[in-house]
Amino acid sequence: MTTPSAPGGRDRAFRRTAATDTAKGRAAIRRITAMCFRYRARAWLALAATVPAVLMQLAIPVILGRAVDRTIAMAETPQMRPLVLIALTLLAVSVLRGLFTLAQNFAAESVGHALAQDLRNQIYAKIQRLPFSFHDRTHSGDLITVGMLDLEGVRMYFSTALVRTLLLSLLIGIGAFMLIRADPIMGLLALSFVPFAAWRSSAMQLTLRRTWLILQEKLGVLSQRMEENLAGIRVVRAFAAEPHEMARFDAASKDALDYSHQRIDVRVRNTSAMSLAFFLSMGLVLLYGGRQVAAGEITVGTLATFLTFMTILQMPVRQLGLMVNAYARASTCGARLFQLLDMPEEIADAPDARPLKVTEGTLTLDNVGFAYHGTDGRRAVSGISLTARRGETIGILGAPGAGKTTLMHLLPRFYDPTEGSITIDGQDLREVTLESVREAVAIVQQDSFLFTTSIENNIAYAAPRAEDRRIRGVAESAQLHDYVLGLPQQYGTVVGERGVSLSGGQRQRLSIARTLMMTPAVLVFDDSTAAIDAGTESRIRAALRDYAKDRVTLIVAHRLASLKDADRILFMEDGRVVEEGTPAELLALGGRYKALHDLQMSPEDAA
């Protein structure tokens, strides 16, 4: 029975979690900032252009104030030339401000897009290198969310947060100095809204960061719903489950929408409060300044300068919420993104790894055991020992869940064994380069995944520069050539997404042909002919006999007919080899193999 935690304990745990998230967010901001300055020329151009753009912006209220005073003075001395010069000066300053602002915006956006491109490539490369164990426990929808939504949050950081911070700091800092110097009291009144805006911005940042993290999780669920529905659209249609799927998607969509509304509500309420404070300070300036003008302490132009400056500040103040939101979003998105990029690669080259050198082509498994992540150490395979030499064909039998596919996935290092070792010609596969292992061990998997491209490109995936003759040769070995010739565009025919335009047997034959393009030392067929009829499978086996003479061949199957060319057969149960020998020896043993043989060869008698 679990003892309830004390309220104080929960509060402390919450504070520790909040402190950890804040620390991660700050670390992410520092890291993103450092990455932005990799593009030094563009980054410094954006920041440098901000300074003259701000100076030109601050010069406009001064020029307008002088224009007002000059216009009033024209009642006594009607001279147009000074007013024309002021107008020309205002035009020149406005043009310069526009040019510097253009340079600032262009350079800032350029930094953001360059950063996004580099991070996008890093994310894609990282996903390619992460082991199967990571993909086993991570939904592709979550990865899509990181690669799109989180990346967009990081991309916008430089232009909407960093550059805007400099812009607003210069506007308020230099403007405050100018206003207080002109009239201390009215200057303080004009800037009285700044402390309130800073307080509300800080409070808003904390709320937006927390709600954005939750929203990202909701959007990840939404991506999962869509990805699963698209991948299983045939199943959905077959069971007339469209209303059910629509209800699930609508519930996830509404959940994300509710949090979006909460974020909008937080931002709008705080931005409105800051705008109200701004207009109150403007009203105080107008009231005090009007009395000063009436008393002859300042001119109307000076009051116009103050009011124009505050009008210029109005837009940055309204955008303060967007700036804070950009910081909050970048810290959250950056933390998630860097968590992926910093994830350790469990399957990687050892520091002193060298390419695998295949001489005799002997495969050895020595007391191999493996447990999947999150299974509390329960082994999927255990105590497997095997030696297979070039030219040998080893059959693997067993009920579903016996560990056959897991064992095959250890050979090309999709996973590393947690016990024992796997060697080729005495070289431990963990001590040689991963690329050379994948070249030496080729596997035709159960899932015959095909790319949305031509049949020719799918076959030549492992050897893109292969000659047409070689492509057609492996297609003939896989009993696919005659079918392809009957297609309108033959080898140029484009298969649909995941090969949906082909039957299961055709996809498996194409997958076999693709693997035959390689020249491995070990060739694995992981139940890769289950969807192929017995006659076609027999012709494929006959075509592969010469191919198998130069390598170790392992065949995982459920049909004994698929193993008629096997030199030895291993029967697996609960992750262990319980029977091993030639087909004749296993029949004479009278155990599990014989029972399966009798069931498949004489099903009526077995029944």
Contact 42, 114 (CB under 8 A): yes
Q: For the ranges 163-172, 227-236, 296-305, 586-595, which has the lowest average pLDDT?
A: 227-236
Query: In sequence order, what are the beta bridge partners of 363?
Result: 388, 424
pLDDT of residue 110: 92
Question: Do the bridges between strand 393-398 and strand 552-556 make them parallel or antiparallel, or are there none, so unpaired?
Answer: parallel
- Cα-based torsion angle of the residue sequence 78, 80, 86, 88 in order, rounded to the nearest 10 degrees: 170
Helices (H), 354-503: 404-410, 434-440, 455-459, 468-477, 481-485
Report which of residues 285 and 373 the model is more confident about. 285
Q: What is the 3-state secondary structure (H, E, C) of 174-192?
A: HHHHHHHHHCHHHHHHHCC
pLDDT-derived band at 602, boundaries 50, 70, 90: low
> What are the residue ranges of CATH 1.20.1560.10 in the chain?
30-341
User: Is residue 514 predicted with pLDDT exceeding 90?
Assistant: no
What pLDDT, in 10s, does the model give residues 128-174? 888 777 776 776 667 777 777 788 888 888 988 889 889 888 888 88
User: Is residue 499 predicted with pLDDT exceeding 70?
Assistant: no
Residues constituting the chain = 607
Q: What is the 3-state secondary structure (H, E, C) of 287-327?
A: HHHHHHHHCCCCCHHHHHHHHHHHHHHHHHHHHHHHHHHHH
What pLDDT, in 10s, does the model give residues 517-534? 888 888 888 876 666 666
- Third-level CATH fold of 30-341: ABC transporter transmembrane region fold (1.20.1560)
What pLDDT, in 10s, does the model give residues 181-224? 888 888 888 888 778 877 777 677 667 766 766 777 777 777 77
Cα angle 206-211-216, degrees, rounded to a multiple of 5 = 130
CA distance 2 to 256: 33
Prediction pTM value: 0.71
| Token pair of 76 as six digits | 């006594």
In eight-state DSSP terms, residue 461 is: G
| Token pair of 290 as six digits | 């009007």
Contact 455, 413 (CB under 8 A): no
In eight-state DSSP terms, residue 356 is: -
Place of tokens 């209303």: 243
What pLDDT, in 10s, does the model give residues 218-275? 777 777 777 777 767 767 777 777 787 788 888 888 878 877 887 788 778 887 888 8
Query: In sequence order, what are the beta bridge partners of 384?
Result: 368
- Taking residue 279's Cβ as centre, other Cβ atoms within 10 Å add up to 12
> What are the residue ranges of CATH 3.40.50.300 in the chain?
363-606
What pLDDT, in 10s, does the model give residues 380-427? 888 888 888 888 888 888 888 888 888 888 988 888 888 889 999 888
pLDDT-derived band at 2, boundaries 50, 70, 90: very low
pLDDT of residue 605: 45
SS3 call for 388:
strand
Q: For the ranges 74-88, 314-328, 492-506, 510-524, which has the lowest average pLDDT?
A: 492-506
User: Is residue 459 predicted with pLDDT exceeding 60?
Assistant: yes
CA distance 507 to 487: 15
User: Is residue 11 predicted with pLDDT exceeding 60?
Assistant: no
Question: Do the bridges between strand 379-388 and strand 427-428 make them parallel or antiparallel, or are there none, so unpaired?
Answer: unpaired
Mean pLDDT of 336-355: 84
Cα angle 575-578-584, degrees, rounded to a multiple of 5 = 135
Mean pLDDT of 3-25: 51
pLDDT of residue 238: 72
The continuous run of DSSP H or E covering 250 comes out as: helix 242-294
Mean pLDDT of 332-353: 83
Tell me the pLDDT of the chain averaged across its residues.
Answer: 80
Report which of residues 270 and 7 the model is more confident about. 270
Mean pLDDT of 64-68: 84
Mean pLDDT of 292-308: 84
User: Is residue 17 predicted with pLDDT exceeding 50?
Assistant: no
CA distance 224 to 100: 44
Question: Is the CATH number 3.40.50.1100 carried by domain 363-606?
Answer: no
Cα angle 359-360-361, degrees, rounded to a multiple of 5 = 95
Q: Which amino acid is at 181?
A: R
**What percent of the chain shows pLDDT beyond 70?**
88
**What percent of the chain shows pLDDT beyond 90?**
6
pLDDT-derived band at 57, boundaries 50, 70, 90: confident
| Token pair of 19 as six digits | 């402190």
CA distance 95 to 103: 12
